[in-house]
Amino acid sequence: MLAPQRRDDNPCRPRHFKPAPCAPVNPDGRAAQNLETCRTRLLVTGALFALVFAVVGLRLIDVVLLEGSAAGAPAAHIRPVAPPPAMGRADIVDRNGALLATTLDTPSLYGNPKQISDPAEATRALASALPGLNPAETYAKLSSGRSFVWLRRRLTPREQYAVNRLGIPGLEFEPEERRVYPFGDLASHVVGYCGIDNRGFAGIERALDTVVKERREPVQLSLDARVQYILHEELRHVVDEFTAKGAAGIIMDVRSGEILAMVSLPDFDPNHPTADTPNEPPEQAKERIFNKITLGDYEMGSAFKIFNTAMALDAGTARMTKQYDAIHDIHIGRFTIEDYHGKHRMLSVPEVFMYSSNLGSARMALEAGAERQRSFLARLGLLKPVPIDFDEVSRPRFPAMWREVNVITIAYGHGIAVSPLHVATAVSAIVNGGMLHPPTLLRLPPGTRPAGERVISEKTSEQMRKLMRLVVEYGTAKLAAAPGYVVGGKTGTAEKNTGGHYQEKKLVSDFVAVFPMHDPRYLVLTMVDEPHPSKESHGYATAGWTVAPATGRIIGRIAPLLGVQPVDENSPEVTRALTIESMQGKKIEDY
């Protein structure tokens, strides 16, 4: 019988059937070696990671603290990321915020002919979805075997939906942008238009192309869309009434040079600038794009007597009471200068201006001399392009040699061709106290009255305001009166010079008006190109019958919009400001 085994609490005592739990099992030493290798590798890897993190940490400390402090800013090397540039072109708005131009997302349709199994069927389906698509051209593209063809650029949402509904494999859309002009042709020559790549091709779009691309906020013009509409409508009426070739007009703030409206007819829709009108000759298509106000150069006729008279009065070679011979014609070479409906008597300066006497104006200019005349016109900016934020501006045409015959004809607006913008800018200086301001199509900050260049004295400016008022009260522009708004101005009618020959039947009639004349605020210049007499004009096509009445209507409509309050034209204030001293106590018929 076996004796019971004695309990042994020593676990480390060796047993005969297994090794002790704490005894190392290492029959050949390989396990210990492998374990040691693993430990070594872990230590090396950890050391490398620690080294890398130490280097990165030290570099951060160096950049943020040490170098930053040396530069005077703890975080000099940490710069904010610039926001991405704005996509597309900035909006263009009028002075009141009305939207004149904006950019919309518009997809363009293209195709992969290699993926289109039936080009004929695809063409028929596209033609039904996109009216106006040329089936022959479309089929040629879809059967070309190429991998990419444009089918229609700048689709409307409705057109995109119609194409999507076809479900034709191989038709895809490319996201693009389209420049849109909500007012259509209303201000087309000012705003201009863009090409298919959204690059400005005309007007402000072209002149300020870089600015419009880089700005985020809208570009605000000096235009007033309400005033623009009235000018556009009245000039359209003149063209229709006198079956004219075209017309143009500009409205300007005489105190700042801001242009509130600019119209040139015929015009175009900037949304489709190259769209052909059925049966329209190519020269007429070009005429629609042509801006008469800035690009045209015209002999403006008797409107130039404003400058001639101001020159003589400012130089002191003429006085308001001085008399000039309007009896005898002037003969120079093969030319004879005479008056249209002349008075055939001696005329004072007010009468020369009021009755638009060519003879009196010519003798006034000869008295002043060629050098003084040329210098004065240069001072008014009439012998160089007008400085304006616009690319399409003309260069004046005037004689290289300023001879006596040039002095005579320039006195009444022949022999020198300028743009209507030239005339508007110069007349603004004549009436506003004598300060010449460069015109602008960009709105100035409210209350801004820019410094200008003095070109005539305040006294001469006051005298010219009185003379221009006479023309509307008693002279050639009686039909331009707008009761309550004290209109003054000067008419001009000139035969067009074609190839060195004046065309008696082709006239340019223009009228430049200012209101209110006792405290000038705004200038309105209107012009009609090749008008024909109407029944209402009693057979005349001169400015007093064509554009003068339209100007009166324009002023009557825009003055309330511009905040000009009507006044009693016979009030002491108005009478005192516009009465010519030499005429006090006399009736106009007494002269």
The per-residue pLDDT for range 213-247, each reduced to its tens digit, is: 988 899 999 999 999 999 999 999 999 999 999 99
What integer is the mean pLDDT of 266-278? 83
**80 in a structural domain:** no
Same domain (yes/no): 483, 555 = yes
The range of the structural domain enclosing residue 546 comes to 229-266+291-590
3-state secondary structure string across 313-330: HHHCCCCCCCEEECCCCE
Mean pLDDT for all residues in the chain? 88
Domain boundary among the residues 162, 188, 221 is at: 221
Is residue 83 assigned to a domain? no
| Same domain membership, residue 211 and residue 235 | no
Give me Rg for the CA atoms of the chain: 41
Indicate if 212 and 300 belong to the same structural domain: no
Mean pLDDT for 343-350 is 95
Range list of H helices, 417-525: 420-431, 458-473
| Structural domain total, the chain | 2
Residues 392 and 526 in one domain: yes
Q: Are residues 249 and 368 in the same domain?
A: yes
Q: Report whether pLDDT(201) > 80.
A: yes
For position 341, which CATH number holds? 3.40.710.10
Query: Does some domain include residue 566?
Result: yes
Q: What is the pLDDT of residues 478-529, one digit of tens each?
A: 999 999 999 999 999 999 887 777 887 899 999 999 999 999 999 999 999 9
Q: Which residues of 514-523 are buried (b: 16+ CB within 10 A; e: fewer)?
A: bbbbbebbbb
**Is 550 a domain residue?**
yes
- Strand 219-220 and strand 92-93: the pairing is parallel
Grouping H, G, I as helix, E, B as strand and the rest as coil, residue 258 is strand
CA–CA separation, 457 and 370 (whole Å): 21
Is it the case that residue 11 has pLDDT exceeding 60? no
Least reliable range by pLDDT among 3-12, 251-260, 289-298:
3-12
Write phi, then psi, for 488 (nearest 5 degrees). Answer: -135, 160
Q: Which residues pair with 107 in a beta bridge?
A: 175
pLDDT at 64: 54
Least confident of 34-43, 89-98, 402-411, 488-497: 34-43
User: pLDDT by residue (tens digit) across 558-588?
Assistant: 999 999 999 999 999 999 999 886 554 444 4
Tokens of 49: 């990671």
pLDDT, residue 85, reads: 42
Question: What is the pLDDT at residue 75?
Answer: 39
Query: Is 435 a member of any domain?
Result: yes
**24 with 18: CB under 8 angstroms?**
no
Identify the pLDDT of residue 276: 59
Burial label, 428 (beta-carbon count in 10 A; 0-12, 13-18, 19+): buried
Long-range CB contact pairs, 353-356, < 8 A, 24+: 353/305, 353/309, 353/467, 353/470, 353/471, 353/475, 353/490, 354/467, 354/470, 354/471, 354/474, 354/475, 354/476, 354/588, 355/475, 355/476, 356/302, 356/305, 356/412, 356/471, 356/475, 356/476, 356/490, 356/491
Above pLDDT 70, what percent of the chain?
87
pLDDT at 582: 58
For 286, phi then psi, to 5°, come to -65, -35
Q: Which of 317, 271, 231 is nearest to 104 (CA)?
A: 271
pLDDT score, position 590: 45
- Do 476 and 420 reside in the same domain of the chain? yes
Q: Is 326:342 a contact under the CB 8 Å cutoff?
A: yes
Q: Are residues 317 and 417 in the same domain?
A: yes
Instruction: Return the structure tokens found at 362.
Output: 């010519």
The residue annotated as part of the active site, out of 302, 394, 419, 428, is: 302
One-letter amino acid of 505: K
- Is 143 noted as a catalytic residue in this protein? no
Beta carbons of 93 and 218 less than 8 angstroms apart: yes
In a domain, 284, yes or no: no
Chosen domain end from 160, 188, 221: 221
> Which domain-ending residue is among 167, 189, 221?
221
Does some domain include residue 549? yes
**Cα angle 154, 156, 161; round to 5:** 115
151 shares a domain with 210 = yes
- Looking at the fold, whether 240 and 215 belong to one and the same domain comes out as no
Comparison of pLDDT for 59 and 161, the residue scoring more? 161
What average pLDDT does range 307-324 have in this prediction? Answer: 97
Is 339 found in the same domain as 257? yes
Query: Helix (H, G, I), strand (E, B), or coil: what is residue 287?
Result: helix
Tell me the two tokens of residue 280: 């329209």
Lowest mean pLDDT among 67-81, 142-156, 313-327: 67-81
pLDDT at 374 over 50: yes
- The number of CA neighbours under 13 Å toward the Cβ of 488 is 28
Please indicate, yes or no, if residue 312 is contained in any of the structural domains: yes
Average pLDDT over residues 419-443: 97
Tell me: do 344 and 490 sit in the same domain.
Answer: yes
pLDDT of residue 583: 56
Same domain, 215 and 240: no
- Supply the pLDDT for residue 398: 96
